[in-house]
Chains A and B, each alone.
Chain A
């Protein structure tokens, strides 16, 4: 990929998890013409700055949500503090649900 040695290409289709569909929806909503809260180029920059090791370990949509989050912090749409608190709320909610 990108001129680097790579293994066989996985050609089979697979179902998307609910969270993956949500990441895709988030991206569409944030980049839409009436919001323009991020650009594809910003997402690419954040993904490309992951470093090879992290890039390989993360799945496709993990890389996208990482890049979306970084972009929103860089633009001041959300703060690190807000993110940390919200993650705690969601985690607690999911744990209660079991």
Chain B
């Protein structure tokens, strides 16, 4: 199971605003996932890095798992979004329905406004 794709839409979303980074994307915004490949524990699946998608919802704010992986607190909490991708954009040889989508939960620091990606 891909844990990054697991639903986190309920539960701990009600964190203190003070210890969380403010969300910078809105539902419907077109985004590009950063095509970065650092070592360490990264929750952003390789198959969506560099791909374009649309913000489907804000799931809440959570400690950064990349820091938790090294036993650090991972604060401030980061906004986590569910991002919707067209399957045919993700997989070049996709043969299913053209409107099929895959949704992946991605932390804000992995997302850029589409067209502004470096």
Show the binding face of A for B, using Cβ within 8 Å: 2-3, 39-42, 44-45, 48-49, 71, 74-75
Contacts and interface: CB of A to CB of B under 8 A. Distances in A.
B84 to A, nearest CB: 17
A76 B85 CA distance: 42
A2 B71 contact: no
Interface in B1-48: 2-3, 39-41, 45-47
Contact of B71 (A3, A40, A75): A75
6 contacts: A2-B46, A2-B47, A3-B47, A42-B71, A45-B40, A71-B71
B104 to A, nearest CB: 11
**What range describes how many residues of B lie at the interface?**
10 to 19
A95 B22 CA distance: 59
B11 to A, nearest CB: 15
Interface of B is mostly: loop
Interface stretch (B53-61, B62-70, B105-113): B62-70
A74 B45 contact: no
Given A45-B40, A45-B41, A2 B68 contact: no
A44 B71 contact: no
A91 B81 CA distance: 48
Instruction: Identify which of B39, B40, B71 gathers the most chain A CB atoms within 10 Å of its CB.
Output: B71
A41 B69 CA distance: 4
Nearest to A1: B2
Contact of B68 (A42, A48, A74, A75): A42
Contacts of B66: 41
